[in-house]
Amino acid sequence: MLSPDSLAQIDHEIAKYPADQRQSAVMSALRIAQVEKGWLATETMDFVADYLGMPTIAVYEVATFYNMYDTAPVGKYKITLCTNISCMLTGAPEMTEYLKRKLGCGFGETSEDGRFTLKEGECMGACGDSPVCMINNHRMEGFLTPEKVDRIIEELK
């Protein structure tokens, strides 16, 4: 279900915990699975549960609680815009409108060409750089302006 490379990465995470606590690696395992698959289908979450010896419902709970996990297909690039208080006060509402217009889709939706998914995010711990967004959960961009958003989108196209 997952590639040998992903399984090796998950094994590396499992090794960080006591032998009888494999389930402690669930967040890392889901992250690794999502990087390989693009999103977390039910079968993928079931596989992770089985691999870690956990009830499937416990894995679903984690995957649906944190918004970095995608339990439905997303575009090639997922842009998660923080809309919490610091970002809200420094331009997130304007960036929200700008991104919606630019990509032609709203929060939780994917652009018509399938390249971009726009998501609303919680505080990313980078309030000093607000307004902030994350691209595919791994790349953070701060001090967003319409010009900077244009540059980022252009680079990703």
* Neighbouring residues of 65: CB distance < 8 A, sequence distance ≥ 6: none
Question: In the bound complex, what is the minimum distance in angstroms from residue 142's beta carbon to ligand FES?
Answer: 8
Q: Closer to ligand FES at the Cβ: 15 or 85?
A: 85
Q: Is 130 in the site for ligand FES (CB under 6 A)?
A: yes
**Cβ pair 113, 106 in contact under 8 A:** no
Residue of 76, 67, 88, 73 whose CA lies nearest to 131: 88
Among 84, 115, 119, 135, binds ligand FES (CB under 6 A): 84
Q: Closer to ligand FES at the Cβ: 10 or 134?
A: 134
Question: In the bound complex, what is the minimum distance in angstroms from residue 143's beta carbon to ligand FES?
Answer: 11
Specify burial of residue 49 (Cβ count, 10 A radius: 0-12, 13-18, 19+). Answer: buried
Question: In the bound complex, what is the minimum distance in angstroms from residue 153's beta carbon to ligand FES?
Answer: 20
Q: Is 82 in the site for ligand FES (CB under 6 A)?
A: yes
Q: Draw the binding track, 29-48, toward ligand FES (x: CB under 6 A; -: no contact).
A: --------------------
**Cβ pair 60, 99 in contact under 8 A:** no
Burial string for 18-28 (b: 16+ CB within 10 Å, else e) reads: eeeebbebbee
- Interface with ligand FES (CB under 6 A), residue total 11
Binding residues (CB under 6 A) for ligand FES: these are 82, 84-87, 123-124, 126-127, 130, 132
